[in-house]
């Protein structure tokens, strides 16, 4: 039976308390712990029960309690103060000088399939989503004119619990958006804004929600509407579920629907940032829009769209990237391609590494790479891995020259620093660490933090983690129907004074959650040492279809349940932002042992570091660039060797892991001086603050994107659009003509003046003859590459210097070019010359994919 009418019953909030809704509807509370305290204070039990959802919470507080608060002067004072702070925060005008942008107008739209903004908005599965959430929060703090675009999953990502066999079970609660900090976007007449698009030849409609993240609006599309056919309604039901076709629908909704939604809302951001390949159809839809709306050729429209696009790739394994088979693409994009005037094969080539291979699947990151003029991986090492992985896309280029750079991820410090450590920072670093966590000056004062205060604070956080874990374990046991003895037993698992090692992450195979278990003897030895006790806390989810991951998890859980390990190894179910925040602040060691180089960046370790938790990690992702070889800011597991045999790699690294633990980490932790302080441990905590916090905050990351990507993209985009897209049309034409002429370009007769051996610092003149046909020298970039050589004759490090033409164009199209190099190091030194097309409007010549090397 269904009701024929639905009404919203709203709690009767005393007028004096009404401003609290401002706080409840903005996720600002997730990084202003005083607001969370304010909510909790109203009814601590209910607050916990609410899954930290302020809207549901306020709707469920008893009327008696509300009346009480209405008469509580102190509470009302605090409330008004917090509301005023939020008002001041959100009303500051945007200071960024994007030319011709009105204050308040968004310039950048950030597209992502998941966002981890707060615990109560469970539309994230792991690192990718949390990163997107932190990106929004830092953009808010830095007042970057940005908005977010994503999907409103009715059931979010699954909630995890274990059955009695230790096998992961998934639960999908239905979230009630009306009880969450989000609202429908309404048009001027108060109607719900909706976006319409086609999935193949069938219409799909989505309503648009908005949720506020400080100053940033995050828009979320929702297909759960009666207008949609039953098979389309679940498109936004769950994150990462269903088959390939469902994924394709979701990505069409996010990309194509997202771009259309911007129009519906009435905003016109010039720059789009595609977070992972999932949203690459956004680039495509923009191309289509520019063609239709401004009568541009496909080529010109690509130039415009790509100039204003940023693409960030996150997946270092080919299999992890979305690929759709040709027949599926044909079903949904044949008409779309026709509409753009493209033969289907040409359309498919946009998503193929080899455009001539008709069997190749359509790959979303490849599409994104082709439709963006700024591409990046998420750590220095991952940038390198990505250039290798996508080398086919620009197959004429040496891997080092691929136009994929890197911007290392960071975390939003005010969200992830626990309030206890935060108070300590306030006192010793000044309040600036919250606003400017990316300045090294702030962190340079970490030395001043009192050792004993820092250690006491840390010990308090560890004790709190242990309490939290006990409470969770009891709940888990009750849910599993355990005996009352077992349930009571959970009251004294873990030791609040023991060295506590945290391991929490997705149970993806490459993260090697069970590496630790491969030497059970060593593990038993360290956890059963009475003088120097060590304990482990695990948490993490496996993808519902990943039975391999679930098996690993089952192994961990089975071990946790054995008598030898019970109480010293525990597994906390349902890893989410809340568990993460307890773990990254309460552990002593953050253990991370992915198989190098498969971790793109990793961010949980950064959260730990900001709380004084020390890293013990393989040299992968961010740790590869942050670690110092004297282990002064944390420890490394193994080195930077490449392994062909993964089993052998495991074998080597497990040995190193236990060696380091037993011989260094445990002894440093238990080396106590006066007052029970582990002096050198505390020094490491402080040195990590000082050396690393400035670099690994998401403020630094967003500032990098702003400076290196958003600002240049905005500028290029505008210059291509001016005067009815004159420059874009010109550039597209030039591109076509250079493509046809490029085959003739030739470089010969490279000469190096001087002897075969030279002294360091002697300038060397390099000359080359370049055949350029009808091209002018201003259409050509000629460079000399030089550098020391490895044993097998490859460049170890190259220096690139531009060469200039020294003669007029000769009869027959030849010209002489000259450049000068200065070897700075002794050894075997190599020299070569190359040419690329050049155009003033092209931000980066490499995107044409054309290059010519000197012939011997």
User: How many Å is the Cα radius of gyration of the chain?
Assistant: 29
Q: How far is the CB of 288 from ligand PLP (least distance, A)?
A: 35
Q: How far is the CB of 488 from ligand PLP (least distance, A)?
A: 30
CB closer to ligand PLP out of 317 and 739: 317
At which residue do the structure tokens 């639905």 appear?
6
**C-alpha angle 662-668-674 in degrees, rounded to nearest 5:** 145
Contact 373, 843 (CB under 8 A): yes
And the tokens for 53? Answer: 């959802």
- Provide the b/e sequence for 564-573 (b: ≥16 CB within 10 Å): ebebbbbbbb
Instruction: List alpha helices for 350-449, DSSP H.
Output: 364-370, 380-389, 413-416, 419-429, 432-435, 440-444
CB closer to ligand PLP out of 428 and 503: 503
CB closer to ligand PLP out of 296 and 411: 411
- Coil, strand, or helix at residue 5? coil
Number of H helices, E strands in the chain: 31, 28
Q: How far is the CB of 150 from ligand PLP (least distance, A)?
A: 17
- How many whole angstroms separate alpha carbon 131 and alpha carbon 411? 7
Q: How far is the CB of 314 from ligand PLP (least distance, A)?
A: 10
DSSP structure class, residue 115: B
Cα Dmax for the chain: 96
Q: How far is the CB of 389 from ligand PLP (least distance, A)?
A: 19
- How many whole angstroms separate alpha carbon 286 and alpha carbon 305? 6
Q: How far is the CB of 416 from ligand PLP (least distance, A)?
A: 8
- How many whole angstroms separate alpha carbon 87 and alpha carbon 719? 36
Q: How far is the CB of 353 from ligand PLP (least distance, A)?
A: 27
At which residue do the structure tokens 């076509």 appear?
736
| DSSP sequence for 714-740 | HHHHHHHHHHHHHHHHHHHHHHHHHHH
Q: How far is the CB of 594 from ligand PLP (least distance, A)?
A: 8
Q: How far is the CB of 222 from ligand PLP (least distance, A)?
A: 23
CB closer to ligand PLP out of 457 and 581: 581
CB closer to ligand PLP out of 602 and 694: 602
Q: How far is the CB of 574 from ligand PLP (least distance, A)?
A: 10
CB closer to ligand PLP out of 126 and 837: 126
Q: How far is the CB of 97 from ligand PLP (least distance, A)?
A: 33
- How many whole angstroms separate alpha carbon 649 and alpha carbon 641? 9
Q: How far is the CB of 650 from ligand PLP (least distance, A)?
A: 19
CB closer to ligand PLP out of 605 and 837: 605
Consecutive H or E run containing 109: strand 108-111
CB closer to ligand PLP out of 55 and 584: 584
Contact 652, 638 (CB under 8 A): yes
- How many whole angstroms separate alpha carbon 382 and alpha carbon 855? 33
Contact 127, 291 (CB under 8 A): no
Q: How far is the CB of 578 from ligand PLP (least distance, A)?
A: 8
Q: How far is the CB of 130 from ligand PLP (least distance, A)?
A: 4
**Phi, psi dihedrals of residue 770, rounded to the nearest 5°:** -120, 125
- How many whole angstroms separate alpha carbon 772 and alpha carbon 815? 7
Length of the chain in terms of residues written: 856
Which of 602, 534, 539 lies closest to 573 in space, CA to CA? 539
And the tokens for 836? Answer: 């690329």
CB closer to ligand PLP out of 168 and 603: 603
Region for 363 from its dihedrals, namely left if φ exceeds 0, alpha if ψ lies in -120 to 50, beta otherwise: beta
And the tokens for 775? Answer: 């091209």
CB closer to ligand PLP out of 576 and 844: 576
- How many whole angstroms separate alpha carbon 333 and alpha carbon 355? 17
CB closer to ligand PLP out of 377 and 602: 602
- Coil, strand, or helix at residue 450? coil
**Phi, psi dihedrals of residue 635, rounded to the nearest 5°:** -110, 155
Contact 251, 279 (CB under 8 A): yes
- Coil, strand, or helix at residue 270? coil
CB closer to ligand PLP out of 172 and 814: 172
CB closer to ligand PLP out of 170 and 576: 576
Instruction: List alpha helices for 340-418, DSSP H.
Output: 344-349, 364-370, 380-389, 413-416
And the tokens for 437? Answer: 């966590």
Q: How far is the CB of 124 from ligand PLP (least distance, A)?
A: 7
**Phi, psi dihedrals of residue 328, rounded to the nearest 5°:** -65, -45
Give first-to-last CA distance, the chain, whole Å. Answer: 83
CB closer to ligand PLP out of 156 and 787: 156
CB closer to ligand PLP out of 127 and 365: 127
CB closer to ligand PLP out of 696 and 742: 696
Binding site for ligand PLP (CB under 6 A): 126-127, 130, 505, 575-577, 580, 602-605, 607
CB closer to ligand PLP out of 234 and 594: 594
DSSP structure class, residue 661: I
Q: How far is the CB of 126 from ligand PLP (least distance, A)?
A: 4
Q: How far is the CB of 538 from ligand PLP (least distance, A)?
A: 13
CB closer to ligand PLP out of 19 and 156: 156
Q: How far is the CB of 557 from ligand PLP (least distance, A)?
A: 19
At which residue do the structure tokens 């498969």 appear?
598
Q: How many other C-beta atoms can be found within 10 angstroms of the C-beta atom of residue 485?
A: 7
Which residues make beta-bridge pairs with 818?
Answer: 767, 804
- How many whole angstroms separate alpha carbon 835 and alpha carbon 853? 7
- How many whole angstroms separate alpha carbon 696 and alpha carbon 688? 11
């Amino acid at each position: 039976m269904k009701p024929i009418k639905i009404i919203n019953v709203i709690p009767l909030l005393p007028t004096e308390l009404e401003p609290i809704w401002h706080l409840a509807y903005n996720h600002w509370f997730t990084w202003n712990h005083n607001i969370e305290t304010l909510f909790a204070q109203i009814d601590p039990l209910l607050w916990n029960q609410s899954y930290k959802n302020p809207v549901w919470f306020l709707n469920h507080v008893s009327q008696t309690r509300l009346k009480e608060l209405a008469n509580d002067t102190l509470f009302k004072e605090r409330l008004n103060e917090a509301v005023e702070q939020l008002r001041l925060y959100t009303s500051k005008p945007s200071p960024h000088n994007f030319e011709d942008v009105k204050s308040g107008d968004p310039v950048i739209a950030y597209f992502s399939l998941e966002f981890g903004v707060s615990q109560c908005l469970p539309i994230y599965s792991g690192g990718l989503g949390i990163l997107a959430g932190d990106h929004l929060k830092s953009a808010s703090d830095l007042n970057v004119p940005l908005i977010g675009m994503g999907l409103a999953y009715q059931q979010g990502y699954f909630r995890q619990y274990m059955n009695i066999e230790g096998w992961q079970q998934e639960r999908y609660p239905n979230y009630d958006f009306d009880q969450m900090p989000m609202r429908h976007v309404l048009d001027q007449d108060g109607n719900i804004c909706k976006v319409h698009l086609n999935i193949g030849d069938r219409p799909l409609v989505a309503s648009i929600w908005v949720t506020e993240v400080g100053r940033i609006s995050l828009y979320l599309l929702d297909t759960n509407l009666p207008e949609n056919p039953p098979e389309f309604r679940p498109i936004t039901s769950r994150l990462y579920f269903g088959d390939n076709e469902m994924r394709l629908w979701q990505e069409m909704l996010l990309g194509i629907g997202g771009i259309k939604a911007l129009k519906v809302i009435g905003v016109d951001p010039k720059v789009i940032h595609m977070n992972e390949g999932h949203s690459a159809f956004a680039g495509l839809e923009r191309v289509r829009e520019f063609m239709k709306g401004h009568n541009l050729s496909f080529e010109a429209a690509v130039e415009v769209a790509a100039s204003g696009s940023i693409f960030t790739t996150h997946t270092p394994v080919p299999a992890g990237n979305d690929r759709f088979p040709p027949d599926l693409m044909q079903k949904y994009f044949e008409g779309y391609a026709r509409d753009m005037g493209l033969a289907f094969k040409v359309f498919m080539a946009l998503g193929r590494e080899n455009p001539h291979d008709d069997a190749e699947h359509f790959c979303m990151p490849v599409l994104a790479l082709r439709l963006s003029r700024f591409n990046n991986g998420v750590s220095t090492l991952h940038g390198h891995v990505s250039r290798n992985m996508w080398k086919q896309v620009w197959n004429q280029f040496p891997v080092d020259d691929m136009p994929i750079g890197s911007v290392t991820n960071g975390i939003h410090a005010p969200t992830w620093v626990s309030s206890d450590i935060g108070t300590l920072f306030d006192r010793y670093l000044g309040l600036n660490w919250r606003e400017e966590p990316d300045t090294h000056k702030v962190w340079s004062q970490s030395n001043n933090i009192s050792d004993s205060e820092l250690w006491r604070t840390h010990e308090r956080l560890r004790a709190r983690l242990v309490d939290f874990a006990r409470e969770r374990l009891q709940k888990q046991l009750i849910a599993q129907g355990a005996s009352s003895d077992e349930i009571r037993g959970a009251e004294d698992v873990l030791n609040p004074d023991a060295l506590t090692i945290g391991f929490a992450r997705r149970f993806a195979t490459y993260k090697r959650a069970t590496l630790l278990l491969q030497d059970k003897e060593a593990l038993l030895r360290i956890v059963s040492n009475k003088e120097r006790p060590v304990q482990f806390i695990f948490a993490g989810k496996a993808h519902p279809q990943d039975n391999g991951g679930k098996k690993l998890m089952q192994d961990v859980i089975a071990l946790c349940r054995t008598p030898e390990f019970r109480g010293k190894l525990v597994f906390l179910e349902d890893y989410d932002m809340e568990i993460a925040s307890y773990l990254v602040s309460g552990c002593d060691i953050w253990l991370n042992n992915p198989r190098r180089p498969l971790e793109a960046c990793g961010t949980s370790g950064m959260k730990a570091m900001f709380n004084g938790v020390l890293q013990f990690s393989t040299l992968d992702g961010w740790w590869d660039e942050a670690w110092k070889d004297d282990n002064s800011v944390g420890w490394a597991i193994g080195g930077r060797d490449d392994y062909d045999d993964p089993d052998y790699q495991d074998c080597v690294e497990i040995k190193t892991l236990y060696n380091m633990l037993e011989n260094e980490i445990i002894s440093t932790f238990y080396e106590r001086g006066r007052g029970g302080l582990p002096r050198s441990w505390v020094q490491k905590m402080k040195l990590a603050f000082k050396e690393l916090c400035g670099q690994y905050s998401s403020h630094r990351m967003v500032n990098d994107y702003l400076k290196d990507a958003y600002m240049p993209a905005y500028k290029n985009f505008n210059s291509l659009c001016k005067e009815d897209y004159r420059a874009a049309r010109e550039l597209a034409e030039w591109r076509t003509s250079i493509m046809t002429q490029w085959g003739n370009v030739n470089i010969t007769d490279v000469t190096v003046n001087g002897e075969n051996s030279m002294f360091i610092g002697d300038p060397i003149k390099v000359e080359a003859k370049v055949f350029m046909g009808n091209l002018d020298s201003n259409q050509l970039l000629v460079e000399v590459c030089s550098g020391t050589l490895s044993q097998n004759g490859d460049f170890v490090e190259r220096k690139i210097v531009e060469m200039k033409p020294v003669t007029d164009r000769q009869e027959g199209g030849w010209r002489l070019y000259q450049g000068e190099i200065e070897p700075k190091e002794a050894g075997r030194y190599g020299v070569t010359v190359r040419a690329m097309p050049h155009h003033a409007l092209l931000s980066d010549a490499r995107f044409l994919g054309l290059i010519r090397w000197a012939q011997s």
